[in-house]
Amino acid sequence: MLLRPGTRPRTFAVAALLGLLAVFFLPVGQADASAPLRQHAAARGKFIGTALATGPLSNETQYRNIAATEFNQITAENVMKWDSIQPNQGQFNFSGADTIVNFATQNNQQVHGHTLVWHNQTPGWVQGLNATAMRQAMQTHISQVVGRYADNPAVVSWDVVNEVFDDNGNMRSSFWYNTLGLSFIADAFRAARAADPNARLCINDYNVEGINSKSTAMYNLVQSLRQQNVPVDCVGFQSHLAIQYGFPTSFQQNLERFAALGVQVRITEVDIRMQTPRNSSKDATQATYYRDVVRACMAVSACAGVTIWGFTDRHSWVPDTFPGEGAALIYDENYQQKPAYTAVHDALAEGGGTDDTTPPTTPGTPAASNVTATSATLTWTASTDSGGSGLAGYNVYREQGTTDPQLGQSSTNSINLTGLSPSTQYQVYVRARDGAGNLSTPSAAVTFTTSEGGGPTGPCTAAGTVQTQWNNGYVIQPVTVTNSGSSAINGWTVTFTLPAGHSITGSWNAALTTSGQTVTARNVSYNGNLGPNGSTSFGFQVSRPNGNTQTVSGYTCASP
Ligand code: XIL
């Protein structure tokens, strides 16, 4: 008999016992539908982890029980950071770190060491050192900390460097970078490898979940480090998300491009915050985000697993860090499972689930507002989904004869379209999408006309560089767009042709639309204005048939 998730026994001792029994009685590779998260994850060859704080671990039985029962991977929320382990030079304190490692050992869990080199939670004495002394202190710290657990089978991986980029994808101006230059990263990885040749060594960051300039900078760095034989084995995507900022829809594609570099990827710190107070609609949205994070990892074989940054809203860094926001985890403050728990559970257990073939209801007719020369806002009445997989979002299309190009995707019932052509009539409609990929019937279309471009126009040029390529894909970065005229322009359009069988899988710093093999790239809000000789750039990624070696070449530019 398969128990429904909702009928899972509430008593943890019973749950743990059932989990054990299931291990003995189920064929390898399957997990009972009612089983704890860790059992489903293990059946899929992945870990499901949580960050733990030592305070509640020693004071709260429920915290301890859930941590032990539901998760098979642990990250110390704070006690393996530099300020905990080496508050004064040469004075090491491993008591908190040992508490975490011992708990994991008792409960047959892996430990991911977090973190060796970071600009936060590092004592002032380190920050004030000169370059020679700082490099030495970094190497000593790494060899002491990694070395302590090198022979401990529970500790399998480390975040060697954490958050080395700023939000634009430049190197973060930290005391590490400012004192030692970029070389601190390679030095840190080499020191960690020397201290434990078997540990998996990771670079970890936030806002790198989707394909964007920061994740592309991370991609470039990891590729170049590996070309220099720096031992980077793994990339961590923190995934501190918020329902009001939208889901990074290119998450899975992004994981795939990193996997193509030969590294393991992992979701290291997911939490999905909301503006408090909670309500059932925010909880439902949050659940779809958790589901989609887990699914992205499940879909990529190089993804080792997902760690949630805590598990109960009773103990979370979010309310202290983001005022007005919270409720970011999968259990509430009283240790009750939230819809997000079920979403994680079901996404881990998927495969044996029921097929959802019911599409969402048809969205309302969009209303257009804020129409400019190149952008417009559309809003429509939301759809609902009853098939079980839940509403995932909306695709927005332009009515254009036989194949209607998709202008964008939104996870909410509104979208801001950019990169439109001036003085052009658009007929646009929306289809709702559910978690199983079913599309609703199209809404009625709205018709609007963009305003005249206005302002000066002039000649421009565009040239692209193949930055990297692999068997079945490549990245063009940068495509440099230059104003070649003698007066300013306030918009540009670059067109190019995709070789047969090639398709765009991601782009940044331009709005791309594809029609047949022709791709049109328009400026986005912040890079359309170019003075005489001024230039900007954008980039994109392409997939191509295995073994095909063609790349895009030949770009034409027009303004606006
Ligand atoms: C946070 C902890 O959760 C807080 O308790 C602490 O006060 C600050 O650090 N990125 C990271 C984590 O890599 O180490 C951070 O953890 C959250 C952001």
Per-residue pLDDT of the chain (560 residues; tens, 9 = 90+): 333 333 333 444 444 444 444 444 444 455 677 899 999 999 999 999 999 999 999 999 999 999 999 999 999 999 999 999 999 999 999 999 999 999 999 999 999 999 999 999 999 999 999 999 999 999 999 999 999 999 999 999 999 999 999 999 999 999 999 999 999 999 999 999 999 999 999 999 999 999 999 999 999 999 999 988 999 999 999 999 999 999 999 999 999 999 999 999 999 999 999 999 999 999 999 999 999 999 999 999 999 999 999 999 999 999 999 999 999 999 999 999 999 999 999 999 995 334 567 889 999 999 999 888 888 999 999 999 887 656 778 989 999 887 778 788 787 899 989 888 888 999 999 999 876 667 899 999 999 999 886 655 678 999 999 988 888 888 898 999 999 988 888 889 999 999 999 998 888 889 998 888 999 999 987 889 898 999 999 988 899 998 899 999 899 999 88
For residues 160 and 180, what is the distance between their CA atoms, to the nearest angstrom? 16
| pLDDT score for 32 | 74
- Whether 77 is in the pocket of ligand 1, judged by its Cβ within 6 Å, is yes
Q: Whose CA is nearest to atom 4 of ligand 1?
A: 317
Give me the catalytic one of 163, 256, 399, 452: 163
How many CA within 13 A on the CB side of residue 292? 29
Which of 52, 54, 78 should be mutated for ligand 1, with most atoms under 8 A from CB?
Answer: 78
Phi-psi region for residue 133, left (φ > 0), alpha (ψ -120 to 50) or beta?
alpha
For residues 341 and 15, what is the distance between their CA atoms, to the nearest angstrom? 15
| pLDDT score for 5 | 35
Distance from Cα 269 to the centre of ligand 1, integer Å? 9
- Whether 385 is in the pocket of ligand 1, judged by its Cβ within 6 Å, is no
Burial of 194 (0-12, 13-18, 19+ CB in 10 A): middle
Q: Which atom of ligand 1 is nearest to the CA of 159?
A: 13
Distance from Cα 80 to the centre of ligand 1, integer Å? 11
If one counts every other C-beta atom within 10 angstroms of the C-beta of residue 138, the result is: 22
- Whether 162 is in the pocket of ligand 1, judged by its Cβ within 6 Å, is yes
Give me the catalytic one of 70, 77, 209, 269: 269
For residues 29 and 382, what is the distance between their CA atoms, to the nearest angstrom? 39
Which of 120, 235, 266 should be mutated for ligand 1, with most atoms under 8 A from CB?
Answer: 120
- For residues 237-273, b (16+ Cβ closer than 10 Å) or e, as one string? bbbbbbbeeebbbbbbbbbbbbbbbebbbbbbbbbbb
- Whether 159 is in the pocket of ligand 1, judged by its Cβ within 6 Å, is no
Let me know if 163 is a catalytic residue. yes
Phi-psi region for residue 29, left (φ > 0), alpha (ψ -120 to 50) or beta?
left
Q: Is the C-alpha dihedral spanning 7, 13, 14, 15 positive or negative?
A: positive
List Cα–Cα distances, 539 to 87, 403, 467, in angstroms: 43, 25, 10
Nearest alpha-carbon partner for 464 in 550, 524, 554: 554
Nearest alpha-carbon partner for 445 in 409, 479, 488, 398: 398
Q: Which atom of ligand 1 is nearest to the CA of 204?
A: 13
Let me know if 452 is a catalytic residue. no
Give the DSSP letter string of 486-526: SS-EE--EEEEEPPTT-EEEEEESSEEEEETTEEEEE--TT
Give the DSSP letter string of 405-452: PEEEEESSSEEEE-SPPTT-EEEEEEEEEETT--BPPPPPPEEEEPPP
- Whether 434 is in the pocket of ligand 1, judged by its Cβ within 6 Å, is no
| pLDDT score for 403 | 74
Q: Whose CA is nearest to atom 16 of ligand 1?
A: 77
For residues 479 and 473, what is the distance between their CA atoms, to the nearest angstrom? 17
Element (H, E) at 20: helix 12-25
Q: Whose CA is nearest to atom 13 of ligand 1?
A: 162
Q: Which atom of ligand 1 is nearest to the CA of 51?
A: 3
Distance from Cα 318 to the centre of ligand 1, integer Å? 9
- Whether 238 is in the pocket of ligand 1, judged by its Cβ within 6 Å, is yes
